[in-house]
Amino acid sequence: MNRGRLIAPYRGVRYHLKEYSTRPPQNAKELFNLRHASLRNAIERAFGVLKKRFPIIGSTTEPTYSVDTQTEIILACCIIHNYLMGVDPDERLIAEVDEELLQQSHHETEAHAPREDDEDARQGEILRDSIALAMWQDYDTIMGKKSKKDGGDPSKEVQWTSVMDDALVDALLYQLSIGARVNGTFNSRAYDEVVKELVAKFDMDINKDKVKNRQKTLKKFFGECYDIFKEGLSGFGWNDSLSMWTAEPEVWEPLIMSKPAAKKWMATPIPNYFKMAQLWAKDRATGDHAETAKEKRARYATSTTIDGIDLMVSQNEVSLENFEVEESDQMKSPEINVVRSRAPSQEAFSSKSKKKKVPEDGERDNVISRSFDNISMAMDRATEVMEKCFMKISGTEIYAALQVLDLEPTLVTDAYIFLMDNAKYKDMFFGCPVSGRKDLLLKLMSKSKN
């Protein structure tokens, strides 16, 4: 029976230590049961010895001491036992306990407690799964290192564990704080520093490509969750110990009806959620940096950049012909064709430089009028683009930014309300590098109280 504070082994999976003597664990559930059994055996062995040495523990009468006193009695007995084993060891006690445990294991049958369907039992199962997965990833990494020493192929041995993911996210967040990401992309030096840090910590064959691939995996994983919970859904709360969004079943039901993908997140933890929000929430909110390299090349090929426009205008080298825009048939705007010229100092040496003839009189007036119309529309479009670039920062992003500052829980709430109520201070906060945000925030909050 699982509980938030009492984790049972997996049912239907080999459990007893003797079952693993000839065949090591093959998956996360078997590894969890093996270590659960090892821990249980160590606890039973320790208490078996203490009961034989100290009658106060082995007494069958109901204790009259408080829980705190009982705890102190156990600790005192452990200290005395360890001292006695150092000055006058008595191996007979331990041998007796080992024999009793061995006999007990021969006659022990697996007891099946009734399944519990309440919220606490569900949280216990989620916690057990997350522990089992983390242990299996670490176990897999250790076995990979052993294989490497035995001459295995290093390129196939990098198994990302939860600890490695933590280190990767922290390293990327630091590179973000020092300005090593431009237009949503980390520069080459940033990746070099991240690789160097991970190799130093884990002594594994990690290179830039593996870091980028893992970053892509984490970003996709985060995006799936963030797209559902970014608006701060009513009735949901973040559980730090489980690294999950949690709510009552009746709150999940309508969300799953409207967004079937949300069902996955009822039982799937997502560690470092708010740190990853610092890294990638902006991209999810605006849709920036979502295009592929092929799409970028196509966009660059169809775009026109006018260099030295002031010089061209002064030399009458801008003509206006059939500029295609989305408008009615009655109003067609001319297209801007640019003839790039050499600098004035170079014209004397070029016999091939040419200029477009500027229309004269009434036609010139019409051309100028149409060009102003084009400029006006271009400014309107630029304004729209600017508005998209400076989108309103959501409450989720503010909360995510506060989570990584190592603030007291009550202070996080106060700071969240403070930034939501003060647009000016919010802009100052997000304009500051991550490394200096905590100090800035505390000063701003102190200033507002005075």
Residues 53-98: tens digit of each pLDDT: 888 887 767 667 888 888 898 899 999 988 888 888 777 878 888 8
Q: 146 lies in a domain?
A: no
- Whether 242 and 349 map to the same domain: the answer is no
Is residue 385 situated within a structural domain? no
Query: Is the separation of the CB atoms in 278 and 173 below 8 Å?
Result: yes
Q: Are residues 22 and 87 in the same domain?
A: yes
* Whether residues 367 and 442 fall in one domain: no
As to burial, measured by CB atoms within 10 angstroms (0-12 exposed, 13-18 middle, 19+ buried), residue 415 is buried
In a domain, 150, yes or no: no
Element (H, E) at 140: helix 119-149
* Range 202-225 average pLDDT: 90
Q: What are the tens digits of pLDDT across the range 8-58?
A: 888 888 777 666 667 788 888 888 888 888 888 888 888 888 888 888 887
Whether 349 maps to a domain, the answer reads: yes
> pTM to 2 decimals?
0.46
SS3 238: strand
Residues 445, 352 within the same domain: no
DSSP string, 333-358: PPPEEE-----HHHHTT-SS---PPP
**CA 58, CA 50: separation in Å to the nearest integer?**
8
> What pLDDT score was predicted for residue 215?
94
Is residue 103 domain-resident? yes
Give the pLDDT score at 342. 46
Given a cut of 50, whether residue 336 has pLDDT beyond it is no
Pair 176, 261 in one domain: yes
CA 396/CA 282 separation, integer angstroms:
11
Q: How confident is the model at residue 1 (pLDDT cuts 50, 70, 90)?
A: low
Q: How many domains does the chain have?
A: 4
Three-state DSSP class for residue 405: coil
Q: Please report the pLDDT score of residue 90 as a whole number.
A: 76
Q: Are residues 161 and 199 in the same domain?
A: yes
* Domain range enclosing 419: 395-449
Can you say whether the dihedral through the CA atoms of 412, 415, 416, 417 is positive or negative?
positive
Q: Decide which of 257 and 141 is more confident.
A: 257
> For residue 437, what pLDDT is reported?
87
Is residue 362 predicted with pLDDT exceeding 90? no
**Is 167 in the same domain as 49?**
no
Whether the per-residue pLDDT at 242 is higher than 50: the answer is yes
pLDDT of residue 111: 53
Q: How far is CA 177 from CA 65, 183, 186, 277, 424, in A?
A: 54, 14, 11, 14, 21
pLDDT class of 244 with cuts at 50, 70, 90 = confident
Name the least confident of 6-10, 307-311, 419-423.
Answer: 307-311
Q: 194 and 81 in one domain?
A: no
Write down the number of H helices and E strands in the chain: 18, 6
**Mean pLDDT score, 385-405:** 69
| Pair 48, 58: CB distance under 8 Å | no
Asked whether residue 257 falls in the same domain as residue 330, the answer is no
Using CA atoms, how far residue 352 sits from 141, 338, 349, in Å, is 68, 16, 9
> Are residue 259 and residue 352 in the same domain, yes or no?
no
pLDDT tops 70 at residue 287: no
Judge if 338 and 279 occupy the same domain.
Answer: no
